Amino acid sequence: MSAPGVNLKLNGDRLWDALMEMAKVGPGIAGGNNRQTLTDADAQGRELFKTWCQSSGCSMGLDQMGNMFARREGTDKNALPVYVGSHLDTQPTGGKYDGVLGVLGGLEIIRTLNDLSIKTKHPIVVTNFTNEEGTRYAPSMLASGVFAGIYKQDWAHKRVDSEGIKFGDELERIGWSGDEVTGERKMHAFFELHIEQGPILETEGVDIGVVTHGQGLSWTQVTITGRDSHTGSTPMPMRRNAGLGMARVLELVEEIALSHSPHAVGAAGHIDVYPNSRNVIPGKVIFTVDFRSPKLDVILDMEKKLKEGAKEICDKMGLTVELEQLGGFDPVTFDPKCVEAVRSAAERLGHSHMDLISGAGHDACWINKVAPTAMVMCPCVDGLSHNEAEEITKDWAAAGANVLLHAVLETAEIVD
């Protein structure tokens, strides 16, 4: 199969305009986005994406997890489609590009192929996976996880947010629950364009990350129980301070991650304190420990050390502790052929590139279980993400999307 010509480029301005247009949906309070999954803002963003896809001649599909599929026909009706996409949901203080660049980069591929009347043997399907972020409904990458057969759909539909609202009920409420059986679609390959969300590419002055692997992730929900009591009149020795217990466990998390430096990381981003009143010793805290490493044995060791250490800390303080595995995935090795399609596309287009291990989790990490998968990454300013100040340049977006275009076309096979 001949590779696409070096002059084949998509419309970077149109891609940038689409990013800026989508960024107006579910705005944050500091220039980024708060378009959390299954909110009205998410529904609005879905509607906008659907309108754009339909006006680009795509037929739309929707499955029972709300995953969206925009299909551009190929010349061979029976050929499995090449899928390209990511997620439109954001963190509560998210950026304009995390996930969105991958979905709208896929749409720009469709628009460019239409402009140039290019036909491909395999159909191309642009995809928006529901609830990649896992903020409102844990775990992250929930809908791509159901698609890949990792999670049962019934279990996923019963996940509740902090208000006790079920995933399945919200999906119905916003009107984005589809008929398709989740995971029934078969893929020839899947490609995901994503910002790096880390500092390596920008620091190295490299435009393209050829993602060969993804580090593994472990989320452990920790519940520490003590006793609510008065912050003024309770003598120190009598206190059973769950908040202090959490603080000591979080110190332990830091030590555990640093004991496996430089590649392992650990922190807690979600913390609920009860009753969270200024003059009450916290009787209960619930928090999620996020451990990551490219090595599975390191992840397992960190989980073991957390379990042992948290119990030791809490026993000494007269507190009880419960740990619940909230989700996670083993380190990922992407498909060598798809990775090579990304690497040769970057070379053909003359972009600087380097192999990269993804620090963040992505839908591609689960789809890699059911289809040959690879990722393209572009730099982001100061490596900052999951922050409203997340920023990329138009050139980085275009470079990443052009590499995505070429990798998709090489796999979908241009028909002369």
By CB under 6 A, name the binding residues for ligand HGY.
132-134, 140, 360-361
Partner in contact with 99, chosen from ligand HGY, Mn ion, none, beta carbon below 5 to 8 Å by kind: Mn ion
Q: Is 335 helix (H, G, I), strand (E, B) or coil?
A: coil
Q: Looking at 99-107, 147-155, 220-228, 372-380, which segment touches Mn ion (CB under 5 A)? A: 99-107
Half-sphere exposure of 410 (CA within 13 A, CB side): 22
Q: How far is the CB of 132 from ligand HGY (least distance, A)?
A: 6
Q: How far is the CB of 60 from ligand HGY (least distance, A)?
A: 25
Which CB sits closer to ligand HGY, 159 or 240? 159
Report whether the peptide linkage leading into residue 139 is cis, meaning its omega lies within 30 degrees of zero.
Answer: yes
Q: How far is the CB of 133 from Mn ion (least distance, A)?
A: 5
Which CB sits closer to ligand HGY, 89 or 170? 89
CA distances from 92 to 134, 194, 320, 403 (A): 11, 19, 31, 30
- List residues bridging with 214 in a β-sheet: 332, 358
Which CB sits closer to Mn ion, 98 or 391? 98
CA distances from 11 to 57, 74, 375, 390 (A): 18, 21, 20, 23
Q: How far is the CB of 73 from ligand HGY (least distance, A)?
A: 32
C-alpha to C-alpha distance for 306 and 80, rounded to whole angstroms: 44
Q: How far is the CB of 91 from Mn ion (least distance, A)?
A: 6
Which CB sits closer to ligand HGY, 86 or 411? 86
Q: Looking at 71-79, 92-100, 208-216, 376-384, which segment touches Mn ion (CB under 5 A)? A: 92-100
Q: How far is the CB of 152 from ligand HGY (least distance, A)?
A: 20
* Burial profile 327-341: b = 16 or more Cβ within 10 angstroms, e = fewer: bbbebbebbeebbeb
Q: Is 141 helix (H, G, I), strand (E, B) or coil?
A: coil
Which CB sits closer to Mn ion, 170 or 363? 363
Which CB sits closer to ligand HGY, 42 or 413? 42
Where helices occur in 4-123 by DSSP H, the ranges are: 12-23, 40-55, 100-115
Q: Looking at 98-106, 179-187, 272-280, 370-378, which segment touches Mn ion (CB under 5 A)? A: 98-106
Partner in contact with 26, chosen from ligand HGY, Mn ion, none, beta carbon below 5 to 8 Å by kind: none
Partner in contact with 328, chosen from ligand HGY, Mn ion, none, beta carbon below 5 to 8 Å by kind: none
SS percent in the chain: helix, strand, coil, step 5:
35, 25, 40
Report the relative pairing of strands 189-195 and 320-329 from DSSP bridges: unpaired
Strands, DSSP E only, in 182-283? 189-195, 208-214, 216-225, 229-230, 265-274, 280-281
Which CB sits closer to ligand HGY, 69 or 329? 329
Residue 99 as a binder of Mn ion (CB under 5 A): the answer is yes
Partner in contact with 216, chosen from ligand HGY, Mn ion, none, beta carbon below 5 to 8 Å by kind: none
- List residues bridging with 121 in a β-sheet: none
Dihedral-angle region of residue 129 (phi above 0 means left; psi in -120 to 50 means alpha; beta otherwise): beta
Residues 281-310: x/- map of binding to Mn ion (CB under 5 A)?
------------------------------
Which CB sits closer to Mn ion, 99 or 226? 99
- List residues bridging with 285 in a β-sheet: 224, 273
Residues that bind Mn ion (CB under 5 A): 98-99
